[in-house]
Copies of this chain bind each other. A is one copy, B any other.
């Protein structure tokens, strides 16, 4: 198993940092190869701009999508982006670990997706039949991904009727809109609440939960997101009326 562990926390001595260390060690003990993208340690630049695209950017109005595709094809993408592409090509499994900030990824991690997932690689890829390869197909098809999330909120408050919204829905843009979009099979997330206030005993429980999830990385069932091109959606990419009839919302995109 080749695992890329992406980590976004400003403090390596944090609860999250310790979990990351624990996870990487556990994987290696299982015999996995592990490479890391520790975004704070790398001083990752999260801001998409013309400098990402070399001479492809030119001086006219910048269209991010097509310009990124040109730079991808001509090899002119910024070296830090190309390095992440190389890691992704190498990996069969991707862990995305972060603390939940304002119900989303820290900016440094959001900007990893913004910059690395360029057009022609992560989106805008045509299949031979003219449909777009995404949501279950694409550059990263065949790989597995798992989110490891730490948060200060309580389990109840991110539960099905918790005030913050349910964690599966908070993560929908990432898990469905980025990981599944590019073809990856997405395992259920590991969510650890109350991280900054945790006792040593609570840390041990979290670390064991993580080790257990890492032991079953290759066998656990992924979230059953629907495939775009599997017949469930019409030509406007709207779910067929006879599937999840009368319902709306993120849950309809699960084939359950």
Give chain A's interface residues, CB within 8 Å of chain B. 10-11, 13-14, 40, 46-50, 61-65, 101-108, 110-111, 113-114, 117, 135, 152, 154, 156-157, 159-166, 169-170, 172-174, 176-178, 196, 226, 228, 233, 236-239, 244, 247-253
In whole angstroms, how far apart are the Cα atoms of A159 and B234 in the complex?
Answer: 13
For A110, the closest partner residue in chain B by CB is B107
Distance in Å: Cβ of A130 to nearest Cβ of chain B:
16
What residues of chain B lie closer than 8 Å to A174, measured between beta carbons?
A: 102
For A182, the closest partner residue in chain B by CB is B102
What residues of chain B lie closer than 8 Å to A104, measured between beta carbons?
A: 104-105, 110, 173, 177
| Contact across chains for A165 and B250 when beta carbons are under 8 A apart | yes
Copies of this subunit: 2
Distance in Å: Cβ of A53 to nearest Cβ of chain B:
11
| Contact across chains for A161 and B238 when beta carbons are under 8 A apart | yes
In whole angstroms, how far apart are the Cα atoms of A177 and B173 in the complex?
Answer: 14
| Contact across chains for A107 and B102 when beta carbons are under 8 A apart | no
Distance in Å: Cβ of A233 to nearest Cβ of chain B:
5
Residue in A101, A228, A233 whose Cβ sees the most chain B Cβ within 10 Å: A101
| Contact across chains for B169 and A61 when beta carbons are under 8 A apart | no
What residues of chain B lie closer than 8 Å to A176, measured between beta carbons?
A: 165
What residues of chain B lie closer than 8 Å to A166, measured between beta carbons?
A: 248-250
| Contact across chains for B101 and A162 when beta carbons are under 8 A apart | no
A239/B105 contact (C-beta < 8 A), A10-B48, A40-B49 known:
no
| Contact across chains for B103 and A173 when beta carbons are under 8 A apart | yes
| Contact across chains for A157 and B110 when beta carbons are under 8 A apart | no
In whole angstroms, how far apart are the Cα atoms of A239 and B114 in the complex?
Answer: 35
In whole angstroms, how far apart are the Cα atoms of A166 and B160 in the complex?
Answer: 18
